[in-house]
């Protein structure tokens, strides 16, 4: 199982995200962002203030390296798609700083795209055809979202949706055809960068001896992990975001469940009330099937029909289940671990933590009532109500304390190999980046970028700095800001 490396984020920075909120998301910038005490000057030499009512064309080049351009459209895709976008939206990063961070990210993309061209890496005709199909599919999805904004009595909702889309595009200085061209260029750059990155990754050599040594070292480290640490690592591995743990710190097990959420209604106080009797008919029908349900696999077939937990739609979680241990009581819905432990152990009470402190006006929640059922093959399951739903729980796997078993070449082995490969690639990438900064010059027009995405900071910094101020692009450490975006 190949787990995700932080540099895969770089390869995906320019991946096009077609959603209505992304297209007219530029409207977020019409509200003036919070001012900072010390605005950073981003004005270029001889720059003139950009009028507030001027629509900067989305095809305007704002970053350039050799003959590779980043347009304002490309910048916007990264601006709204970066993992740090929410930090900026909630004030953890001011818009000016956030724009600088996006410039840094896109500088890496420019380096890699130039290196891809230098090394003869390009997309095939098949790749380009797939991109065309991708664009068509996403445009169709976007138009469906726009149809939700169209009046119900409209004669042609599809045509009206297209008009709304084109209006929002016009607010970015685009017509429909220009938009499609920019979108395709955006994905071509992303896919090319990803292809180059994968070529670097594929060239990394990891020996069996390297993997065995890594497993031995990891077993020593993982043997000191808490159950919560183990669960977090195991979940990350299951989701493809980390390597498999190499040691199980204590005996534990996993469960699957059929989850049916209660209906709700709003209360007069503005809260939500769960209607605990709302699933009675479903409960009775499901429970009537248990005597003829022959084992775990048959139970999971019922889950497909009745269950509502999205996790149970994930093949990995269906296979491995939710990890259960007495130390994980507070990691799930109240009562879920209690029910699972009683199912597994036969009898179990929630432990009292003598070091835990309770607020003076609160008391621990009582353990819920449990109801047990027996399937046709003798397998036991347990029913428990939590605040928001009813659960039918079945034991999935047993985990015994000690080293994790594996076979050479299996998924666990592959995850450890991937971890070593990523570590070597990270080291190589840092070396390459240092070299690229010497080999390439990136021109950045931060005046235009920040006039669009951090307008208040840009206006103040231009006024304070005067026409003579210039800035060296931090992301490249070699390139002065220029007016290249106006070429």
pLDDT at 427 over 70: yes
pLDDT at 229 over 60: yes
| Domain range summary for the chain, segments of one domain joined by + | 6-203+422-486, 252-352+364-399
Tens digits of residue pLDDT in 149-186: 888 888 888 899 999 999 988 887 889 999 999 999 99
Encode burial over 2-12: b for 16+ CB neighbours within 10 A, e otherwise.
Answer: ebebebbebbe
Residue 487: both structure tokens together: 């070429």
Q: Measured between alpha carbons, how far is 119 from 327 in angstroms, rounded to an integer?
A: 53
Query: Sign of torsion, CA 52 53 57 58?
Result: positive
DSSP 119-158: TT----HHHHHHHHHHHHHHHHHHHHHHHTTS-TT-S-HH
pLDDT at 45 over 50: no
Alpha helices in 359-473 (DSSP H): 411-439, 446-453, 455-465
Residue 118: both structure tokens together: 């230098």
Query: Sign of torsion, CA 401 411 421 433?
Result: negative
Q: Measured between alpha carbons, how far is 133 from 145 in angstroms, rounded to an integer?
A: 19
> By C-alpha distance, which of 112, 475, 455, 415 is closest to 242?
415
Q: Measured between alpha carbons, how far is 415 from 420 in angstroms, rounded to an integer?
A: 9
Q: Under a CB-based contact definition with an 8 Å cutoff, are residues 282 and 258 in contact?
A: no
Q: Under a CB-based contact definition with an 8 Å cutoff, are residues 461 and 43 in contact?
A: yes
pLDDT at 460: 46
Residues 6+ positions from 222 with CB-CB distance below 8 Å: 230, 233, 245, 246, 247, 249
Using pLDDT thresholds of 50, 70 and 90, give the confidence band for residue 65.
Answer: very high
Q: Measured between alpha carbons, how far is 329 from 342 in angstroms, rounded to an integer?
A: 12
> By C-alpha distance, which of 365, 401, 468, 387 is closest to 43?
468
Tens digits of residue pLDDT in 284-304: 999 999 999 999 999 999 999
Q: What is the pTM of this model?
A: 0.66
pLDDT at 241: 86
């Amino acid at each position: 199982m190949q787990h995700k490396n932080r540099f895969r984020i770089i390869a995906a920075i320019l991946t096009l995200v077609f959603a209505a909120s992304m297209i007219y998301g530029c409207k977020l910038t019409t509200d003036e962002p919070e001012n900072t005490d010390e605005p950073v000057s981003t004005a270029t030499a001889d720059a003139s203030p950009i009028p507030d009512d001027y629509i900067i064309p989305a095809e305007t080049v704002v970053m350039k390296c050799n003959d590779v351009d980043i347009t304002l459209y490309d910048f916007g895709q990264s601006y709204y798609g970066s993992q740090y976008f929410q930090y900026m939206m909630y004030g953890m990063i001011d818009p000016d700083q956030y724009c600088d961070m996006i410039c840094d990210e896109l500088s890496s993309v420019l380096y890699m795209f130039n290196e891809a061209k230098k090394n003869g890496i390009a997309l095939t005709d098949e790749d380009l055809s797939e991109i065309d199909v991708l664009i068509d599919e996403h445009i169709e999805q976007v138009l469906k979202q726009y149809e939700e904004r169209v009046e119900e009595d409209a004669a042609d909702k599809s045509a009206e949706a297209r008009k709304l889309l084109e209006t929002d595009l016009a607010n970015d200085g685009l017509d429909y055809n220009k938009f499609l061209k920019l979108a395709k260029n955006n994905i071509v750059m992303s896919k090319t960068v990803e292809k180059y990155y994968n070529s670097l990754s594929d060239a990394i050599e990891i020996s069996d001896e390297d993997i065995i040594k890594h497993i031995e070292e990891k077993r020593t480290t993982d043997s000191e992990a808490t159950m919560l640490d183990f669960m977090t690592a195991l979940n990350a591995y299951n989701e493809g975001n980390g390597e498999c743990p190499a040691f199980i710190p204590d005996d534990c097990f996993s469960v699957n469940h059929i989850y049916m959420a209660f209906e709700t209604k709003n209360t007069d106080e503005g809260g939500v009330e769960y209607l605990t009797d709302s699933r009675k008919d479903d409960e009775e029908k499901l429970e009537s099937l248990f005597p003829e349900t022959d084992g775990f696999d048959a139970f999971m077939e019922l889950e497909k029909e009745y269950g509502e937990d999205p996790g149970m739609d994930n093949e990995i979680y269906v296979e491995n289940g939710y990890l259960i241990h007495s130390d994980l009581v507070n990691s799930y819905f109240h009562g879920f671990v209690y029910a699972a432990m009683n199912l597994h152990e036969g009898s179990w009470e929630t432990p009292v933590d003598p070091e835990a402190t309770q607020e003076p006006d609160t008391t621990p929640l009582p353990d819920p009532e449990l109801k047990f059922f027996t399937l046709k093959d003798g397998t036991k399951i347990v029913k428990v109500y939590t605040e928001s739903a009813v659960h039918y729980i079945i034991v999935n796997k047993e985990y015994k304390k000690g080293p994790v078993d594996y076979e050479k070449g299996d998924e666990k082995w592959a995850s450890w190999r991937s971890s070593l490969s990523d570590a070597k690639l990270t080291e190589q990438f840092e070396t390459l980046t240092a070299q690229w900064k010497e080999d390439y010059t990136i021109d950045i027009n931060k005046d235009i970028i920040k006039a669009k995405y951090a307008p208040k900071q840009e206006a103040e910094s231009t006024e304070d700095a005067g026409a003579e101020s210039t800035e060296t692009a931090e992301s490249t450490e070699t390139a002065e800001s220029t007016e290249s975006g106006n070429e």
